[in-house]
Amino acid sequence: MSEHKEMKRISTSTIMEMKNSGEKITMLTAYDYSMASILDQAGIEIILVGDSAANVFAGHSTTLPITLDQMIYHASSVVRAVKWAMVIVDLPFGSYQGSSSKALESAIRIMKESGAHGVKLEGGAEIQEAVEKIVSAGIPVVGHLGLTPQSINQFGSFGVRAKSESEAHVLKNNLHVLQEAGCFAVVLEKIPAKLAGELSSHTRIPTIGIGAGMGCDGQVLVVNDMLGLTENFKPKFLRQYLNLHGEIKGAVQQYIKDVKDNSFPGTDEQY
């Protein structure tokens, strides 16, 4: 966006104002300097340094293996690229569960060592104390409910959550808990659209949906998925805006051909 020089950096108050005015909030993941720079220049409001880096960067089948040190490395790369967007970083599995003191230590490391603007935690009532402690230290927190990938071994699948009345009731209570604990926003992942819309209209804090329908206050996708870099991953909620996998593969094949038939480099491409 050409007007970036005059624009203020996105803050928690900006996000709250967007919800109150009915303006939709946009969030995408990024894990490196080059991609983060593009997203920031395009005008994205929030960049999430997701633990999904474990999947799209490292090839793991779950988000569980990524470490706090690795998240700080990715977050630092993103922060160096960003001039306008808010950068939120996932606390990885094992860095906050079961201990609010450990959660605070992990959040402080992320903020001090990466320069990020806030952190995201998965869970509800079980992380209330951790959220309260992190917020009390002046660190903005985003919650995450519904399908929480760090709990995949407990769920047993990546299916839609909160389809039953009892599970929906628990989710509603957890959202209230996170709101009162001090979260300034919450991600709702893979829950029925009707439920997400109801929650969004009854909560003070913004909801950011992924597979949660149009009623949320904003939307988030994994950037590798929406750009078509991830092959053979097309869930119902994903809109793929490009097919970069095919385009990059074709470009590489053309490069191989040009090198092998001696047409690259040309006379104007050498010193």
Each residue's pLDDT tens digit, 172-193? 999 999 999 999 999 999 999 9
CA separation for the pair 170, 148 (Å, rounded): 14
* Predicted local confidence at residue 6, as pLDDT: 56
CA separation for the pair 233, 239 (Å, rounded): 11
Question: What mean pLDDT, rounded, does the chain reach?
Answer: 95
CA separation for the pair 223, 142 (Å, rounded): 19
CA-nearest of 237, 232, 155, 231 to 196 is 237
| pLDDT < 50 positions in the chain | 1-5
Confirm if 160 and 148 have CB atoms less than 8 A apart.
no
At 141, which helix (H) or strand (E)?
A: strand 141-146
* Predicted local confidence at residue 165, as pLDDT: 95
Catalytic residues: 189
* Predicted local confidence at residue 5, as pLDDT: 45
Q: How far apart, in Å, are the Cα atoms of 221 and each of 52, 153, 237, 239? A: 11, 22, 9, 9
- Whole-prediction pTM: 0.95
Each residue's pLDDT tens digit, 111-158? 999 999 999 999 999 999 999 999 999 999 999 999 998 887 877 677
Q: How far apart, in Å, are the Cα atoms of 135 and each of 104, 119, 230? A: 9, 10, 35
Radius of gyration of the chain (CA): 20
* Predicted local confidence at residue 233, as pLDDT: 87
* Predicted local confidence at residue 95, as pLDDT: 97
Confirm if 121 and 131 have CB atoms less than 8 A apart.
yes
Confirm if 40 and 81 have CB atoms less than 8 A apart.
yes
